[in-house]
Structure 1
Amino acid sequence: MISTLYFLALLSSTMAQGRVSLWSERSAKNETGGGSGDRCTCDAFLPSSIFPIKDLVVVEQTAGEISHKLELEMGKLDDYETKLTAYAEKIIKLTAEIEKMEKNPDAYNDADFDEIKVEIKQAEALIKELQLSIKGSTTVFKSLRVQIRVMVTTLTRLEKTYDKNLVLVTRREYIKVQLQLEECERRHQELFNPNIGSCAHTGIIKVSKPIVSQLNAHLTPGYIYGGWGKDSKPVPDRESMYWYSGYSSGSIVDIRFYTNYKNLILRNHFQHHNLHSSWTGTGNNFIIRDNTLYYQINTPFGLAKLNFTTMGYESRVIARASARFSYTNSPNQNFDFAADETGLWVTYATEESGGRLVIAKINEPSFGVEEEWQTSVYKPGVSNAFMVCGVLYAVRTIDIQTEEIFYKYDTKTKQESYISVPFERFRDKYSNLDYNPTDQKLYMYNDGYYVNYHLWFNHTAKATVEPPTLLI
C-alpha cells in the first residue's frame, strides 16, 4: 500500500510536472461468473519521477541530531567560560606568589617551593585539559558544517526538481540548525579570540576550511560575478547587517541589504538599491564601509562611492592607474577596494610599475589618496588581495582546490616577504575576496556561493587565542 505522505508527495510531484490526470475510470463486465452486474474500476498512473520522500526524512532526522549536538556544545561553552575565569584567577595568584618568592627567596624554605611547583603543575594540567576540550569542540563544528552542507545540497536539489511547498518545512529546520551553529561558533570565537580589532600580531598563520552558507539570493549558479559580506565599519544599529550584489556579468547595478544572517539565508532583504544608470560600476572589487558602497567605474575610469544614508555620490580619477591589469580569474578588476583595522585602501597597477601592485591609502572624508606604496608582485599573477592591519596579503591559485596566501607587504615598515598559507576553495573560481575587521573573517563570493573563512594570527600580545602553557 502507498502511505498517505508518500501518495501526497507523488500527487504534488505529478501535478507540478503538468501531467493531465492520475486516474482513469472504466466500466467492465464481471468476468468471474460470481455475479451478474457490471463493476467499476479505476487505474492509477504512477509517474516515472517519484518524489523521494526518504530524502526528506533523512534530512529531518539529521537536523534533529545536529540540533541536539549544538545544545550540548552550547552547554560546554558555558562551562569553558566558567573555567577560564577560575583559571585566570588562579594564574594571577600564582604569578603574584612567585614574584614574592623571587624578591625574597630567603624567606621561603624547600617545602614552600615544592608546594608552589605542585600548584603550577596542577594549573598546567587544567589548561591542557581545557585545550583538548576546545579542540574537540572545533572538530565537532567542522563535522556539523559538513552535515549541513549535505543537507542544503539535498534541499536545493529537491526544490529545483519538485514542488517547493513539500520541502519548505524541512528547509525551515535546516535554517534553524544553521543559525544555531552560527551562534555557537560566534560564542566560541568571542570566548577564545579576544583579539578582534587588535593588530598585536605578526600576521596570518592559518585559514579555516571554507564555511559555505548557500547559493546566492537569486538561487542561480549563473550569477558567478559579485560579492557579499558585512559592513567593515557599521553605523549604529546595523552591526549585524549583511549585503549582497551578484550578476551574470562583471557589472554592478544594484545591491541588497539584510538585517542579519537569518534574513540573508531566507533571502528577505530590507533594502534593495538600484544604481542610477550613470553610477553603474564594473568589476567585483566593491565593499561596504560606513554604509557606503566603494566600487570601480569605467566612465570615467576611476573610483566611486555611494553613501546609502544620504544617497550622495562621488567619483575620483587616479591618473596613473591602468585598465590593462586585472587579477587572474577576474576581468575588469583594476581597482580593488579593501578595509581593515586602520581604514580604507585601494590597490591597482600602473604602466610605470609594469603591472605590479600599488597600494594606496584612501582618506575617507575627502575620498583622496593619502599615500602610495609600490610592491614587487605582478597583479595578473595574483588571484586576489586584501588588507589586514596595514599589511597587503596577495593570493594565488595552486591547483583546482587550493589557494595560497603567498606574499605580504607591510606599509608601516615598507618590507615585503613571501609566505605560504594554503587554504581550500569550495568551488573552482571566485570573483571576490575581502577581509572584514569586525569579525576577522575572509568573505569570498565563490562561483555564486556565499563562503567565508576564519583567520588565525600569530599574536604577540599577552591576550592569546589559546590559554597559555605554564613552564617551571
Structure 2
Amino acid sequence: MLPLSVVLKLLLLICIQRPSASVWLKEGWQVYSSAQDADGRCVCTVVAPEQSLCSRDAKSRQLRQLLEKIQNMSQSIEVLNLRTQRDFQYVMKMESQIKGLRSKLRQIESNRRTLLTKNFQEMKGKMADLQPLIPVLEQYKTDARLISQFKEEVRNLSMVLLGIQEEIGAYDYDELQHRVASLEGRLRNCMSRLTCGKLMKISGPDTIKTSGTRFGAWMTDPQAPPQNHKVWYMDSYTNNKIVREYKSVSDFVAGVESRTYNLPFHWAGTNHVVYNGSLYYNKFQSNIIVRYSFESGRVMTQRALEAAGFHNVYPYTWGGFSDIDLMADELGLWAVYATNQNAGNIVISQLDPITLQVLNTWNTEYSKRNAGESFMICGTLYITNSHLTGAKVYYSYSTKTSSYEYTDIPIHNQYFHMSMLDYNARERALYGWNNGHQVLFNVTLFHVIKTDDDS
C-alpha cells in the first residue's frame, strides 16, 4: 500500500471536450493547471487537494494513532481485569472467612469458661493479626471497581473516536490509494502532451525554515533523479564560500547537514543555481561564471560573461551584488544581467551547461535596476517590479517569440524583503529567501496541448 504522503499528492485528471464548459470540482479540491489546443478543441484540467484537506489528512492520521493507543490500552485493561476478577474472588472468600472467624470469636468469648484461657488468648492474637487486613480488603474492592469503571470509560472513548473518524472521512484514503495507479497513468499521458506553460498565478508562500541572515539562497537540483531530494544552502550575498548540503528538506528543516563544501572563490549576490549536479555562481568582483561539481569537489569551468556589469553596477533593486542572475528551467541554463550596450536594460543569455558558452542572447527594454527579482519558466523571463511589500510580476519576455508583455500577477511578500527568487522545473515551485526565511511559492501554469499537426 502506498504511503499517505503519496496519496496526498494524488492528482485528479478531468478532460472536457468543450472549452467553454466549466470544471466541476469536488469539495476540497482546487485547480492545479489547465490545457487546451490552439483551436480550443480540448480542455485538460488537473486538480489537486486543497491545503486544508492536507491538514485534515494529518488530523486523521493523528486520530488513527490515538485509536491504536486506545485499543492497546483497552487490551491491557482487559488482561488486568481478568487477573483482578480472579484475585477478587479469592479476596471475597478470605473476607468471608475473616468475618466468620470474628463472629465465632465473639460467641466463644461470651462463654470463656468452655475454653482454656491459653487457647483463647492464642486465637484472639491471630484475630488481632488479621484485623488490619480488613481495610486492605476494602481498598482492594474499591480499586477493582475503579478498574471496571476505567474499562467502561475507555470503551466509550473508543466508540466516540471511531464516530469522529467516520465523520471526517478518514476511511476515504483507502479508496484514494486504489485510484492512484489508474489516475497516475492518465496523468502521465496528459502531461506528456503538454508543452511549456504560461504563468497564470503564484500562491503561497509556505515557510520551510527561518535561518541565516537577511540575504541568501537555497535550492534543489531540477535535473536530479527522482529519489534525490538534496538541498543546498548558501547564506549571505558576499564574503562566504561555504555551501551546506542536506539529504532532504526534512533534514534541512532539522538542521542535519550531510556535507559541507568550501568553494575556491567567494560568490557575489544570491542568484546561484544547482543544475545537473553542479553549482553555477558569479565569482565575487567579476563577471566570471563558475561551474563547481559537487561530485568531484572542484571547479570544472570558468568563463567571463562578456560586457556584463558586476559588483553593484546593475543589481536588482535591493543591491547585494545581484548583477548576474543564473537560473534554470525546462529548456536549460540561463544568465540574466545588464550591459552598457543595452543601456542597463536586462539581457537574457542561454548557456551551454558544460562549457558556459553563450548559445543565444536576447535584449529586453526593462531596466535591471528597476527589477526586484526575475525567474525563467519555459524560456520566458518573468520580472517582479519590487523586492518589497506589494511586489508583483509586472513584465515578461518570451525568448521563443522575442516579444514582451506587461502582466499583473501578485506575489505575497510575507516577510517584506525578497533577496532570492528562483524557479525549479521539477518541483514546479519558486524557491525564495524572504528576509531570513526560506519559503516556497506554488505556480499555476496554463498549458497548450501538442497536436499531431505541431512541428
TM-score of the pair, normalised by structure 1: 0.57
Alignment counterpart, residue 257 of structure 1, candidates 238, 242, 245: 245
Quote the residue 2:383 is aligned against. Answer: 394
Q: Please point out which of 134, 157, 182 is paired with 2:29.
A: 134
2:230 aligned with 1:241 = yes
Partner of 1:312: 298
Of the structure 1 ranges 298-307 and 407-416, higher mean CA displacement relative to structure 2 is found in 298-307
- Give CA deviations for 1:444-468 in whole Å, capped at 9, x if unaligned: 01111110111001122289xxxxx
**Cα 1:141–1:315 shift into 2, 3 Å:** farther
Cα deviation, 1:270-318, whole Å, max 9, x if unaligned, reads: 1111122xx2211111111112111111354321111111223122112
Two-structure CA RMSD over aligned residues (Å) = 3.5
SS across alignment from 1:282: coil
Work out whether residues 194 and 449 of structure 2, in 8 Å CA contact, stay in contact via their aligned partners in 1.
no
Aligned residues: 303
Which amino acid in 1 is paired with 2:360? E
Structure 1 counterpart SS, 2:29:
helix
2:335 touches 2:348 (CA, 8 Å); kept in 1? yes
- Where 1:364 maps in the other structure, the secondary structure is coil
**In structure 2, C-alpha distance between the alignment counterparts of 1:397 and 1:358, rounded to whole Å:** 18
Corresponding residue number in structure 2 for 1:385:
374
Structure 1 position 250, deviation (Å): 3.1
CA distance, structure 2, for counterparts of residue 360 and residue 349 of structure 1: 11
Residue deviations 1:393-421, cap 9 Å, x none?
A: 111128x5332111111111111111111
Aligned to 1:408: 396
Provide the rounded CA distance (Å) in 2 between the counterparts of 1:367 and 1:74: 38
- 2:330 maps to which of 341, 350, 353: 341
Q: How many angstroms does 1:253 deviate by?
A: 1.0
Taking structure 1 as reference, are residues 413 and 76 closer, same or farther at Cα in structure 2, changes over 3 Å only? closer
Is the aligned partner of 1:329 residue 2:318? yes
**Which among 229, 254, 273 is matched to residue 266 of structure 1?**
254
Separation in structure 2 between the aligned mates of residue 365 and residue 212 of structure 1, nearest angstrom: 34
Report the Cα distance in structure 2 between the residues aligned to 1:295 and 1:133, rounded to whole angstroms.
42
Computing the radius of gyration over CA atoms, which structure comes out larger, 1 or 2?
Answer: 2
Secondary structure of 2:24 counterpart = helix
Change (3 A) 1:252 1:337: farther
Corresponding letter in the other structure for 2:289: L
Counterpart pick for 2:214 among 220, 224, 230 = 224
CA contact (8 A) 1:212 1:450 kept: yes
Q: CA deviation at 1:362?
A: 0.3
| CA gap 1:305/1:417 in 2 versus in 1, 3 angstroms | same
Inter-CA distance 198–215: structure 2 relative to 1 (3 Å threshold)? farther
By how many angstroms is 1:341 displaced?
Answer: 0.5
DSSP 3-state at the match of 1:285: coil
* 2:210 counterpart residue number: 215
Which ranges in structure 2 are unaligned for 5 or more consecutive residues? 31-47, 60-175
- Counterpart residue number, 2:416: 428
Larger mean CA deviation between 292-301 and 251-260 belongs to: 292-301
In the aligned structure 2, how far is the partner of 1:296 from the partner of 1:462?
Answer: 37
Which of 417, 429, 451 is residue 441 of structure 1 equivalent to?
A: 429
**1:237 CA drift (Å):** 7.1
Residue pair 2:420, 2:432 contacting (<8 A) in 1 also: yes
Q: Distance in 2 between matches of 1:303 and 1:134?
A: 44
